[in-house]
Amino acid sequence: MANIVAITSCPTGIAHTFMAAEGLEQGAGKLGHTIKVETQGSVGAQNQLGDAEIAAAEIVVIAADTNVDLSRFAGKRIYETSTKDAINDGAAVIQTAFERAAVKSGEAAASAQAAPAAAGKDATGQLLEAKATQSASRTGAYKHLMTGVSYMIPFVVAGGLLIAIGFAMGGIYVYDDAHKGTLAANLFWTGKAAFQLMVPILAGYIAFSLADRPGIAPGMIAGVIADSVGAGFLGGLLGGFIAGYTVRGLNQTITLPKAFEGLKPVLILPLFGAAITGLLMYLIGGPVHSALAALSEFLKGMQGSSALVLGALLGAMMAFDMGGPVNKAAYTFGTGLIASQIYEPMAAVMAAGMTPPLGIALATFIFRNRFSADEREAGKAAAALGISFITEGAIPFAAKDPFRVIPSLMIGSAVTGAMSMYFGAQLKVPHGGIFVLPMPNVVTNVVEYTLAIVVGTVLTALALGILKKPVAAAKV
């Protein structure tokens, strides 16, 4: 029996984070090991690992889709994987971890960070080198993007809801001079302030994921420039990567005497990183603005069959891997367009993300003989997750019978997404499920939007009833 510590983290910090933790705990239990899992979710770190627990651990397992600080695990054997792997087979992840876990290159720098004075130099530069080495074992650009998105989401949610509350209290002209100084107007402008931070936060934390703390300032500056030149979400996304790779490159090429090493992370890297990134952003800002404007006009002009196709595509993507890279690509597309005041794709994305667990829950009720007693019980939880827009509630069913369940989910979600786009439904916040439907000005065409979710749910359940065999007749 061995002691294991672990961290789980996903971009939204809601479902995958905790499902992965449960998968690791069950997997370790099956293999006879003890494990403590720290979940870095939407409300911060829970079940935090203590220094003594880390010291006593034989291996460290990181099941995350975002950047996780590894500095406190200096000298420990670490194995990194995705939340999806931990959810699907926690025991296999634990077994693989014992075979492949290794001390990360540059970990000694992390130890030095705890006592830089004793070492006679600042260790941040070395940590950046370690991060560059670690990135090869990760999922590359996707993980850096998801780190940025995970930090951006709270600003989108808070901003969108505050704007909606302002409209609800002060009417559609809450922003004019007649309402200046009122509670409604102040809430509205607070929400607008949150929206103004969206792109800088996205860019800053993409750069942070790539280059650690010295990347934050150049990344956020890139985001502000992207906003100022009209490059919006796309510009911020590119700016974050430009800043991150620029700072990482500078760190690897600039060598200073030991006496001046402390200037590198607080002066040299942010200064030159911001200067280079800023100049590049002004060069690419115009073309990116033109591309974003063209995309905006195209999306705003979509009607009929073109809207149906986009909605169906986004819907199918949401159901394909239920929180995985394809799902998150669709979600990020919808979320990013909110910054450009294009709200229809986000509506399609959320509706299509709700139907998989809702459809499964309905199927476990009307086609009871297709599911075991445990699955029927799990269907109740899936319903609660579905109404909350947590697509991951469908994962246990898809993992058990992927070739029947996933196509069923994609059918329902594709229809829901297509209907949502066809009806022109708009959603001005990136989350919330049914709980945001009653809020004024958050969702448009609420009746039609609700109909799209209901139709997709019913179709998903019917497809499951057709494709899945009765439990008694199924092959074991």
* CA-based R_g, the chain, Å: 24
Please list the ranges in the chain whose pLDDT falls under 70: 12-14, 42-43, 105-139, 172, 300, 302-303, 472-476
Q: How far apart are CA 100 and CA 189, in angstroms?
A: 51
- 3-state secondary structure (DSSP) of residue 3: strand
Q: How far apart are CA 16 and CA 397, in angstroms?
A: 15
pLDDT of residue 134: 42
Write out the CATH class of domain 3-103: alpha beta
CB contact at 8 A, 64 and 138: no
Residues marked active site are found at 10
For residue range 310-351, list pLDDT tens digits in order: 999 999 999 988 777 788 788 888 888 887 788 999 999 999
For residue range 363-419, list pLDDT tens digits in order: 999 998 888 888 888 888 888 888 888 887 787 788 788 889 999 999 999 999 999
Which among 294, 326, 303, 322 is positioned nearest to 313, based on CA atoms?
326
Pairing type for strands 3-9 and 77-81 reads unpaired
**CA of 365: how far to CAs of 91, 187, 359, 392, 405, in Å?**
31, 43, 10, 19, 16
Q: What is the pTM of this model?
A: 0.65
Every domain of the chain and the residues it spans: 3-103, 141-295, 301-467
pLDDT of residue 43: 65
pLDDT of residue 216: 93
CB contact at 8 A, 362 and 461: yes
- Residue 349 structure tokens: 């994305």
